[in-house]
Structure 1
Amino acid sequence: MALSALSALFLVFAFALVRSTPALGDIRKARNDRPAVILSADGEILDELKPANREWVPLGRISPYVVAALIATEDRRFYDHHGIDWKRIAAAAVHTLSGDRQGGSTITQQLARNLYPDDIGRAPTLTRKLREAITAFKIEAVYSKDQILETYLNTVPFLYNAYGVEMAARTYFSKSADRLDILESATLVGMLKANSTYNPVLNPERALQRRNTVLGQMNKYGRLGPDAYTRLKRQPLHVDFAPQTEPPGAAPHFSAQLRKWLIAWADRNGYNLYADGLVVRTTIDFRLQTMATQALGWQTNQLQWIANQAWNERTGCWPGNDLFQTFMRQTPDYSAARKAGQSDRDAIRNLASNSNYVRALCRSKAQVQAGFVAIDPRSGDIKAWVGSPDFSAEPFDHVQQARRQPGSTFKPFVYGAAFADGARPGDTIMDRNVAIPLPGSAIWRPTDAEPPTERPMTLRDALAFSRNRITAQLMQREGPAKVARLAQAMGVRESPLEPVPSLALGTSPVTLREMVSAYATIANRGAYVEPRMVTRIEDQHGKVLTEFPSAAPVRALPAEAALTLVDVMRDVVTRGTGSDIRTRFGIRTDVAGKTGTTQDNADSWFILMHPQLVAGAWVGFDDGRVTLGSYWSQGARSALPMVGAFYDMALRARAIDPGARFSPEKRPPPPARARPHRFLFWRF
């Protein structure tokens, strides 16, 4: 009676587990290797969202030696069972009870674990084994034996980001899976027991022993003759190691950000990004993306040459440089030397004598980084996105992930607030030294490269020539809190802004994407449009699943104030700090922009507005303590050429209209004035 009750409870428990295992529909999808395709707005493929570095090949394109070795080693009764080998389980139990633990999993059970690691798990519990067995039965019900073998061999991992036997064959033997000989096949199958332990690159002796074990199993079960086995097991281990890297797409940083959003969307809507063959149509313009990549690569190559002169083993990267000593003290090599008993002085001296160590550390610290993004101000569509000079070497995204001080590119928010309050470009403030009191009896004294003239300066000239003293005084009039709110309304919506007087000079770190989005608001006559990455998603047959229209514009800055700000910022590129746009790159179309350089020369910025496209660039180093010096770190010399080259290409290709204008030929009339203040003076 008790046994019957126990059996009934077990059946109820097993039935409950059935519902917690993958459904048959999900299992049918597991063999579908149809990743979502990301397309540009003009129909070019930007990327494919593969779950791993894998190329699916049919069973007919896999060496028969691989199949023979796999079955002989992992599941010799593979064709005789329906997912569970009861004889093997019984034998494994006997061995385990006698102290020789053995596994009893079939190829189908292993496939279940590989396909559904989260659903099944790997804990050595009865619940896990039951889930695995149930899933194996479901797989056998859906797939033929050959389909199970094909799926298994295309999904099993082999280290070095190689998934499936095709990528493993290329990685370890520099050939395709159909050309693997019997020794190579046995080596790869031998790795399945423990990838790291039997890694033929790092552990060749263990890999050789394991390969011969596989050959022995093939001999034992009639898949290899005795003479051949005796001859083959004497052969050395031949490896032709060539790690396989997935080539990045045309917009890899954009794709990386988009993948995060798509995963959440797919989860909410019941789609599989890796099997349903979705087509994701984005806002990226393939031509503009190519131009942005070229412009960023061209400029960073020039700057890298300059950085290499300033940071090498004879100048910046030598132990006499206190900063480089600091870098050395932050490395694991230094920590290991100190733990070994070396003094700080000895550790620094010994590490400095290692030229390979110094060169590698120098290269890692002195690698020029940059980010570039372009947005259509009318729709919010992101048209180009380059997060670093080389995605493979630096996947960190300097468009979306990096927060850096924007320097003088933040100043237009101060002037925008003033124009919204009725100020005019011709209003003046005295160019003089100022001392601005801060909480706690501190004093802030903003300075400029040029000495004060002690004469009135117009707001137009102050922004065109990026005068800090004038901007600081204007900030006092408008108030830091008001300026911070305006910047947030215009597009700086993720990074916190500290409402302090120095915010006028860009002391609060922000992202490049936020800044370009905010400038797009200026170009769009003060109406903020949330940036858009995707226009629609289709199924594999072209049926539209969902569309994503442009966000409704939200008024952030009065239109007249925005037009006035654009007009003043025209002077930046006509006769101010951004004049190289006209003189060097010959851009004659209606554009306006702003340069930016932080006080410590760590960050260089330039953002340029065109009625149809706003683009901005940031240049610097991942470690803000490394700079190009006061000359080359200026936004006009580091970031501006990148943007200038981009617009030159875009205009020549007619990717944007050279005749487009922000407003009629006549400059916009000044906004109504709230109160008379032709001459503005503050004394601190």
Structure 2
Amino acid sequence: MRTFFLSVWTRLTALFHRVSGWFAWMPRPVRLGLFWTMVAVPTAVLLYALALVPMTPSVSDIRKAKSELPAQLMSVDGKLLAEYRWANREWVELSQVSPNVIDALIATEDHRFYDHWGMDWRRTASSVVHTLRGAPQGGSTITQQLARNLFPEEIGRSRTITRKLKEAITALKIEASYSKDEILETYLNTVPFLYNAYGIEMAARTYFDKSAAKLNVLESATLIGMLKGTAYYNPVLNPERAQGRRNTVLSQMVKRGKLEPKEFDALKVRPLGVNFERQTEVMGPAPHFAMQLRKQLIDWADSRGYNLYSDGLVIRTTIDSRLQAIANRAVDRHGLQLQGVADKAWSQRNGWGPDNTLVQTLVRETPEFRAAVEKGEDPDAALKALLANESWLQKLRAEKTRVQAGFLAQDPVTGHVLAWVGSRDFAQDPFDHVQAARRQPGSTFKPFVYGAAFAQGALPTDTLMDSAVEIPLGGGRVWRPTDGGPPSDEPMTLADGLALSKNTITAQVMQQVGPARVAEVARALGVRQSKLEEVPSLALGTSPVTLKEMISAYSSIATLGRYIEPVLITSIEDRHGKVLETFAQPTPEAVFDARAAQTLRNTMRGAVDKGTATAIRTRYGVQADVAGKTGTTQDNTDGWFILMHTRVVVGAWAGFNDGRITLRSDYWGQGARSALPMVGEFMQQAIRTKVIDGNDRFVDEFAPAVPPPPPDAPLENMRDWIRGLFGGGGTPRPPGPNGLPPVTTDPGYPSGPPVPAEERVGG
């Protein structure tokens, strides 16, 4: 060790004397200070660089980034649902890239690429000199640029010595790990080109509608020219700049001997020849489902040292690709039909125009209107100008009146989610109407009211009068729920009240059990994330909920009061098939009286057999043992239908993202005609293809409840007289459900949200 230090000291002394000879005209102390500065600064930089080495990506990280294997999302029947990629790109080998691209890249970005080991010291020194002169100039090699592309977070893009050192260290690691051709291939496949296009193949398709192998000299120069600034030299929005930059690239190719001067003279006057076509990322058959899982899977991978985008993980899900395909077709077909209705309802002839107050309101809410006002334009003038722009107004109409839908199917026994459709078109509307959207459920909420009553001893055969109902709300306010037509003023059983979706009957049942109890039942069964307002109108579905919550709740009804958490993933494997984690099947939780749930489930067959959902039988020919409920909200804003089968609970919602927009049709706006067809076609095809067994039947665990014998007439007359007293005078009310207290009013009830209208009786 002593010999080593003596050697270093000898070399430094010799270097000092040599430098002293260069600066003999300086005083010795100045020469000494200059010398040690020249030694200390590089040494400090070197030591700092060595300290940064552990903070830069390792060789294994670099290999992983190059040979990325995106995680695969698989269906329960072994079909690929989606891949989790870093970006929208398709990897191509260097041999599949036009030589024009490679020549243009090396001539422009790094003409000594094959001569350096990741750092071009001459170019770096030149860059420093230019920067000190006030004219910043890039000095990064292709390898350094690749380091930034592969590891944007670890290296960053700030103009600091730390970033440059990290970049240099990573570049040296890349050069030590790969050949020059591998570096070029990786670079060309990872560089971004705007419009969600990553890599040369996607760029070639996006800007010239051809593969990277077929790019000519002009096209290659245009794309390589974009690398200096993709937005600034965007050939779609800034063609003049892009053409100028393209010609600069061509001149560099001439300078480096890759293009003849005569060719350059002929090519530089040629137009860009852009054939732009935006590339959409292929999302697979269940994109909303895949997006829903992404964050959960990233967290899982991070906590266990895996990378979702490059480690080749295989995620086994509960989705059945056959049912997913059927669901996609059903939503697409009937969504298109509803769109035709909406287009007619909102045509210029039917009110979409400058004079419509809703249209004026929608225009005031647009970014274009706000931008005009922020620039100082008079609001009225800005509104008038936009309303006069016919093409813009029609574009707004198409956006606002686009029919949307949500669809979910779940196995009520296992909790496995079998099909998930979050919207009609993920690329057009990625918003998830299954889990993210909260909408008023309308009459699909009524089973919770009747379930609460059955739990308190009521029977489906109990009767109430189908007559006008007035429920005091306090403060002089009165709630008068109505149906599509006048009441019959006849007795009606609870079973028929639910099957025919009678608001007058449901409101009376709500009075008897109370809003708090109904909300408690709904939460227990599965409506656990959305807030429920405990008001009388809750009976008619005025509190917004998600489709996923409603499917969970109906699944609990189907399994006689046993709630099970929805299951999306069963296991995760590594790229070699080794199971990394198996997700345990959740244990069903008894949350509701099983006998009451059985009564409710059996009663809900009535909606399909004789009530608002008879189209399931008559139109779609589904003869399986099923039960369900339709739902429609005020002004036909939301249409719902949920159907229960022994091994699948399936539901759909149809409407618009903006609740002020409706189908403007009392016929098409009903849940029985907007949402039910999606479910009907799904069940029809699922049974026909034998994915669902149409012969399965619900099994009763308890003997059906038997109604009590007819009461003694004199005694019943006395009961009627007593009930009349509780009714506040007037005509005595008919007997309530067995075991329930008489109808009462509570002046403390708030009014709640607007009361939704209900669907008409019939298919």
Relative to the length of structure 1, the TM-score reads: 0.94
- Structure 1 residues 484 and 110, CA gap change in structure 2 (3 angstroms): same
Change beyond 3 A, Cα 1:226–1:454: closer
Q: What CA distance in whole angstroms lies between the structure 1 residues aligned with 2:287 and 2:315?
A: 15
The equivalent residue for 1:227 is 262
1:471 Cα deviation from its structure 2 partner:
2.1
Amino acid at match of 1:573: V
Kept in 2, the 8 Å contact 1:495–1:511? The answer is yes
Correspondences of 1:168-183 after superposition (within 5 Å): 168-183=203-218
Paired residues of 1:564 and 1:670 also in contact (CA < 8 A): no
CA 1:5–1:183: 2 relative to 1, 3 Å: closer
Q: Provide Cα deviations, 1:417-439, integer angstroms capped at 9, x if missing partner.
A: 22223222222334444443446
Query: Which residue identity lines up with residue 660 of structure 1 in the other structure?
Result: D
Residue 340 and residue 216 in structure 1: after superposition, are their counterparts in 2 closer, same or farther (change >3 A)?
Answer: closer
Match of 1:582 among 608, 614, 617: 617
Between the two proteins, the alignment pairs up a number of residues equal to 682
2:725 equivalent in structure 1: none
Q: What corresponds to 2:345 in structure 1?
A: 310
Q: Which residues of 2 match residues 559-574 of structure 1 at below 5 A?
A: 559-574=594-609
The yes-or-no answer on 1:163 pairing with 2:198 is: yes
The answer to whether residue 564 in structure 2 is matched with residue 529 in structure 1 is: yes
How many Å separate the matches in 2 of 1:289 and 1:328? 37
Q: Does 1:290 align with 2:351?
A: no
Alignment partner, residue 33 of structure 1? 68
Q: Which amino acid aligns with 1:106?
A: T
Q: Indicate conservation of the 8 Å contact 2:512/2:742, yes or no.
A: no
1:320-331 matches, within 5 Å, as: 320-331=355-366
Alpha-carbon contact 2:462-2:737 (below 8 Å) kept: no
1:428-453 deviations in Å (ceiling 9; x for gaps): 33444444344666443322233344
Question: Residue 226 of structure 1: CA displacement?
Answer: 3.2
Separation in structure 2 between the aligned mates of residue 670 and residue 218 of structure 1, nearest angstrom: 93
Give the alignment's Cα RMSD to 1 decimal: 2.4
- Cα offsets for 1:298-354 (capped at 9, x unmatched): 211221111111110111312232212222222244445656777666555544443
1:634 CA drift (Å): 1.0
Higher mean alpha-carbon deviation, 375-384 vs 96-105, is at 96-105
Deviation sequence 1:225-281 (CA, Å, 0-9, x none): 333333333433222222222233111211221222222221122222221122222
**Secondary structure of the equivalent of 1:463?**
helix
Residues 282 and 566 of structure 1: CA distance in aligned 2, closer, same or farther (over 3 Å): same
Provide closer, same or farther for how the CA distance between residues 640 and 203 of structure 1 changes in structure 2, counting only shifts above 3 A: same
Residue 428 of structure 1: aligned partner: 463
Cα deviation 1:561-611 (Å, max 9, x = unaligned) = 211111110011111111221222222111000011112321110000000
2:276 is aligned to: 241
- The structure-2 alpha-carbon separation of the partners of 1:439 and 1:113, relative to structure 1 and needing over 3 Å to count, comes to farther
Local SS of the residue matching 2:315 = strand
Alignment of 1:102-113 (within 5 A): 102-113=137-148
- The aligned residue for residue 657 of structure 2 is 622
Tell me if the contact between 2:512 and 2:740 (Cα under 8 Å) persists in the aligned partners. no
Q: In 1, distance between residues paired with 2:737 and 2:222?
A: 86
User: What is the CA-CA distance between 1:479 and the residue it aligns to?
Assistant: 2.9
Greater shift, 150-159 or 329-338, is seen at: 329-338
CA distance in 2, matches of 1:441, 1:12: 83
| 1:429/1:459 contact within 8 Å kept | yes
Cα-to-partner distance string for 1:76-109 (whole Å, 9 max, x where unaligned) = 2222222222211111111111222111111111
What residue is the counterpart of 1:549 in the other structure?
Answer: 584
Deviation at 1:402, TM superposition (A): 0.9
- The separation in 1 between residues aligned to 2:269 and 2:381, in whole angstroms, is 50
Looking at structure 1, the residues matched to 482 and 375 of structure 2 have their Cα atoms a distance apart, in angstroms, of 49
Q: 1:653 aligns with which of 667, 682, 689?
A: 689
**CA apart distance, 1:28:** 1.3
**Take 1:558 and 1:19, find their aligned partners in 2: how far apart are those partners?**
61
- Change in Cα spacing, 1:578 to 1:79, as seen in structure 2 (3 Å) is same
Is it true that 1:417 corresponds to 2:452 in the alignment? yes
In 2, Cα distance between equivalents of 1:664 and 1:566: 10
Match of residue 194, structure 1, among 200, 222, 229: 229
1:638 equivalenced with 2:699 (yes/no): no
Q: Secondary structure at the match of 1:403?
A: coil
SS in 1 for 2:635: coil
Kept in 2: contact 1:560–1:671 (CA 8 A):
no
Distance 1:493-1:6 versus aligned 2 partners, 3 A rule:
farther
What's the % identity of the aligned pairs? Answer: 60
Q: Alpha-carbon deviation of 1:677?
A: 3.0
CA contact under 8 A between 2:512 and 2:744: conserved in structure 1? no
CA distance in 2, matches of 1:250, 1:332: 33
Per-residue deviation, 1:473: 2.8
Task: Quote how far apart the aligned CAs of 1:125 are.
Answer: 1.2
Mapped to 1, the partners of 2:355 and 2:737 lie a distance apart of 59
167-176 vs 352-361, greater mean Cα deviation: 352-361
Query: Aligned with 1:631: secondary structure?
Result: coil
Distance (whole Å) between structure 1 residues aligned to residue 560 and residue 548 of structure 2: 19
The match for 1:662 is 698
1:678 Cα deviation after fit: 5.5
Aligned residue for 1:605? 640
TM superposition score normalised by structure 2: 0.85
When Rg is computed on C-alpha atoms for both structures, the one with the higher figure is: 2
Distance 1:235 1:600, change over 3 A: closer
Once residues 516 and 594 of structure 1 are traced to their aligned partners in structure 2, the CA distance between those partners, rounded to angstroms, is 12
Structure 2 counterpart of 1:237, which letter? L
Corresponding position of 1:481:
516
**1:591 aligned residue (595, 608, 626):** 626
1:146 is matched with which residue: 152, 177, 181? 181
Q: Which runs of 5+ in 1 are unaligned?
A: none
Residues 493, 141 of structure 1: alpha-carbon distance in 2 compared, 3 angstrom cutoff: farther
CA contact (8 A) 1:492 1:517 kept: yes
> Structure 1 residues 231-240 or 17-26, which shifts more?
231-240
Within the alignment, does 1:677 sit opposite 2:738 as a pair? yes
Cα separation, partners in 2 of 1:200 and 1:458, compared to 1, 3 Å: same
**Which residue in 1 is equivalent to 2:504?**
469
Q: Which shifted more, 590-599 or 72-81?
A: 72-81
Q: Larger deviation: 233-242 or 446-455?
A: 446-455
Is the partner of 2:419 in helix, strand or coil? strand
Tell me by how many angstroms 1:637 deviates.
1.4
Q: 1:670 to 1:43 in 2, by over 3 A?
A: farther
Which position in structure 1 is the counterpart of 2:79?
Answer: 44
User: Which SS does the other structure have where 1:632 is aligned?
Assistant: coil
Going from structure 1 to structure 2, the CA distance change for 1:683 and 1:235 (only over 3 Å counts) comes to closer
Secondary structure class of the residue paired with 2:634: coil
Bigger drift between 289-298 and 150-159 goes to: 289-298
In the alignment, what sits opposite 1:448? 483
Paired letter, 1:85: D
For the Cα contact (< 8 Å) 2:511–2:744, is it kept in 1? no
Q: CA deviation at 1:671?
A: 11
Select the residue among 57, 63, 68 that pairs with 2:98: 63
How big is the shift at 1:454? 4.5
AA of the residue aligned to 1:546: E
Q: Aligned in 2, Cα 1:119/1:207: closer, same or farther, shift over 3 Å?
A: same
Cα distance in 2 for residues equivalent to 1:440 and 1:11: 81
CA offset digits 1:194-238 (Å, max 9, x no partner): 011111122122111111111222222233333333333343322
**CA distance, structure 2, for counterparts of residue 378 and residue 306 of structure 1:** 38
Contact 2:456 2:739 in 1 (8 A): no
Amino acid at match of 1:521: S
Equivalent in 567, 574, 587 of residue 539 of structure 1: 574
Separation in 2, partners of 1:89, 1:516: 63
Q: Secondary structure, in 3 states, of the residue corresponding to 1:522?
A: helix
